[in-house]
Structure 1
Amino acid sequence: MGPAIRAASLRGIVPLVEQLGGEPHRLLARFGIPADALESEDAWVPITEHDLMLDAAAAELRCPDLGLRLAEGQDLTILGSLAVAIQACSTVAEALETGSRYLYAHSPALRIAVEPDPYERQGVVALTYSKDLRESSYSPQATELGLGLFYRVATTLIGSMSGLRSVELPHQPLSPVRRYTDYFGVDVKFGRATAALRVDRRILDEAFATANEAIRLLALEHIAQRYDDPARRVSTQVRGALAEALGTNPPAVATVARLLALHPRTLQRRLAAEGTGFEAVLDEVRRDATHRHLTTTTLPLGQVAALVGFADQSTLSHAVRRWFGCTPRELRRDEARALTTLSR
């Protein structure tokens, strides 16, 4: 499995899809997500398929605010042990630092951070939410789910978000703008560089009534024992190296091994110990990059083939059919049609 996310992220998807007149188990099966994974929120599902499923459901069920609706029914507990650690922090700043450091226990592909205000306003910071696009394609619905939940969690922990200045989203509005302003209670800006909540810096100093250092440390120890930090995995390092070099250098094991200061045989042994291999990781990186280029750009197919390291367009077509069960043109057309449906 490539980059994944805890199944808890889909809490509420089954009743929501049923309410909208859809068939949730058929929808999940279409994207290779086992229905029983949702019965155990500690199960993991591929984040690319998780996000594709959300975007497809929103389009097919004519529910452009599907991500926000899911967020409305979720809370901090979807983070499992990380939720316990966050609630036990002493301040908002410590909670954000803890969430950022240990978010891999929920999904290693996601990031939260405190960054300077994009408009350079004094006394304002941006609480950013993003996905590593080298790992998985951008998803508008998954972004709205994540940022919507981020807002709900912050409101619950602090008690009020009176210091919220505005909300930033990288994509254009999927729903009427009023839907966003009703949800967040402030101005929402679209087409921005990163999804973010812009807040008064003073919020970072807010203290939690639930602070308990002993519980926080116990929860973090549990996370460290139960979950592998993906930053330490060789497969993660190989994915990063391949994503950076794809389309510019031949994706050879010897080249990547040299970048990681390892002998090629040592690299292969370590990958095998993690249950994968060089070719499998390369295939996942190519699949995710191909999907991103085909669904977010209008680049000619020959150029897409070159960008993902294929010798020709024919090789690309065979790979896309194996990965997605359709041709590159069909994948691009279906995605464009779904986006058109959402914009109506």
Structure 2
Amino acid sequence: MHTLSDYYFSSILDFLQNQGLNTQSVLSAISFNEYVDKNSLQLAPRISLHSYNALLSFASTALNSPLFGFELGKHIRTADYGVLGYLIESSSHLANAIESLLHYDSLVADIGKAHFEQHADTATVRWLPHALCNTQVIQRNMTAWVSVIRQLLNPQLSPTRVEFTESFTSQQIKQLSTWFNCPVKGNAQYNQISFAKAFLALPFKTDNSAINSALKQVSQQQLSEFKSQQNLSEHITVLLMAKSDLQECTLIKTAAAVNLTPRTLQRRLKENHLTFAQLLENERKRRAEILINNTSLIELATLLGFKDQSSFNRAFYRWYGCSPRKYREKT
């Protein structure tokens, strides 16, 4: 499951509030329900890519701004990156900051991979977003990197070239080029920022080696915990996929299979904004789509672990908006 931190998500809500959009109205408009506690409306520690896409798309439409992600990225603050922001801020120079970004980026958003290349006189940071990331997500990510570095080094600092895989109008390209202060290309092979290699040695005004060292330890601990949570959900998914049928696939039995108590399993999944019920439903839905055309509906309900046909029918309608029989007639 691809996610981002609650503080990175919340920074968008803060920005929108400054634009006159009420936070609760915005969240209701995108049917947001990712809360730790719905009574207090506290956001979960990690927010899904689905909700992130939905929020940026809604904001782009509501503000009539096709370049909303770009505008949002321009106003990024290092604090919006959480611990990683402070780690970058305390770096000695740009090369050190990029190293931290590449290693700990998933703490902020596990929605893509960053790569770094050096050539004779040029260095390039390339971002490979998850396939589901929309154009607003890509705009924000690319713009925010340049904005943060300008804040920490020099407001006049400019890349030599910026490339987007997305399409833009000539007017939008002009707007992007003016802010980046360099040529901007759309419909490119990669989303990437190229800049003079000499920039890598530029010192940060906020250089603090002691704080940087301490923050690296904190970041490494958080990264280990995050990977552990991801590995757990992947492990459970593999266990469910290996079952010949999903009868008796309970929380208690699954927790025992991964050597955890049911309470600990639920807690660790919750930290990654998941539940055992969600993982089981994902596997049921995956199997239903594969088996529905060559399995009787009664047998399919049993294979998917439902106690009766009506429970299966209700779940199927929730997944696809129609009954299993209607779905089979369409395919």
Would the TM-score normalized by the shorter structure come out above 0.5? yes
Question: Contact 2:158–2:182 at 8 Å: present in 1 too?
Answer: no
Instruction: Say whether 1:310 aligns with 2:290.
Output: yes
Q: CA deviation at 1:205?
A: 2.1
Instruction: Say whether 1:115 aligns with 2:114.
Output: no
SS in 2 for 1:101: helix
Question: Contact 2:121–2:198 at 8 Å: present in 1 too?
Answer: yes
Give unmatched runs, 5+ long, in structure 2. Answer: 245-253, 301-313, 324-331
1:190 is matched with which residue? 186
2:60 is matched with which residue? 58
Residues 140 and 83 (structure 1 numbering): CA distance in 2 closer, same or farther, change over 3 Å?
same
TM-score norm. by structure 1 comes to: 0.65
Residues 125 and 172 (structure 1 numbering): CA distance in 2 closer, same or farther, change over 3 Å?
same
Question: Contact 2:16–2:59 at 8 Å: present in 1 too?
Answer: no
Higher alpha-carbon Rg? 2
Instruction: Say whether 1:138 aligns with 2:133.
Output: yes
Give the counterpart of 1:44 among 31, 41, 46.
46
Give the counterpart of 1:179 among 170, 175, 196.
175
Which amino acid in structure 2 is aligned with residue 143 of structure 1?
I
Give the counterpart of 2:105 among 98, 103, 106.
103
Give the counterpart of 1:219 among 190, 207, 215.
215
Instruction: Say whether 1:252 aligns with 2:241.
Output: yes
2:278 is matched with which residue? 280
Q: Distance in 1 between matches of 2:4 and 2:261?
A: 17
Question: Contact 1:88–1:213 at 8 Å: present in 2 too?
Answer: yes
Residues 173 and 214 (structure 1 numbering): CA distance in 2 closer, same or farther, change over 3 Å?
same
Q: CA deviation at 1:49?
A: 0.8
Q: CA deviation at 1:153?
A: 0.7
Q: Distance in 1 between matches of 2:284 and 2:128?
A: 21
Q: Distance in 1 between matches of 2:144 and 2:19?
A: 21
TM-score norm. by structure 2 comes to: 0.68
Residue deviations 1:88-140, cap 9 Å, x none?
A: 22221111111221223222334333135xxxx6422221234334xxx1211
Q: Distance in 2 between matches of 1:187 and 1:278?
A: 48
SS in 1 for 2:290: coil
SS in 1 for 2:205: coil
Give unmatched runs, 5+ long, in structure 1. Answer: 243-249, 256-263, 288-304, 328-344
Q: Distance in 2 between matches of 1:326 and 1:100?
A: 44
SS in 1 for 2:109: coil
Q: CA deviation at 1:144?
A: 0.7
Which amino acid in structure 2 is aligned with residue 145 of structure 1?
R
1:300 is matched with which residue? none
2:145 is matched with which residue? 150
Give the counterpart of 1:235 among 232, 236, 239.
232
Residues 325 and 164 (structure 1 numbering): CA distance in 2 closer, same or farther, change over 3 Å?
farther
Instruction: Say whether 1:208 aligns with 2:204.
Output: yes
Question: Contact 1:11–1:70 at 8 Å: present in 2 too?
Answer: no
SS in 1 for 2:124: strand
SS in 2 for 1:53: helix
Q: Distance in 2 between matches of 1:286 and 1:183?
A: 48
Residues 93 and 60 (structure 1 numbering): CA distance in 2 closer, same or farther, change over 3 Å?
same
Question: Contact 1:5–1:45 at 8 Å: present in 2 too?
Answer: yes
Q: CA deviation at 1:43?
A: 4.5
Residues 267 and 108 (structure 1 numbering): CA distance in 2 closer, same or farther, change over 3 Å?
farther
Q: Distance in 2 between matches of 1:237 and 1:95?
A: 31
Give the counterpart of 1:128 among 123, 126, 129.
126
Percentage identity across aligned positions?
Answer: 15
Question: Contact 1:163–1:203 at 8 Å: present in 2 too?
Answer: no
Q: Distance in 2 between matches of 1:161 and 1:319?
A: 56
Residues 2 and 195 (structure 1 numbering): CA distance in 2 closer, same or farther, change over 3 Å?
closer
RMSD over equivalenced CA pairs, Å: 4.3
Which amino acid in structure 2 is aligned with residue 187 of structure 1?
P
SS in 2 for 1:113: strand
Residues 114 and 139 (structure 1 numbering): CA distance in 2 closer, same or farther, change over 3 Å?
same
1:27 is matched with which residue? 26
SS in 2 for 1:171: coil
Residue deviations 1:189-214, cap 9 Å, x none?
A: 11223321111222222222322221
1:7 is matched with which residue? 7
Q: Distance in 2 between matches of 1:193 and 1:204?
A: 24
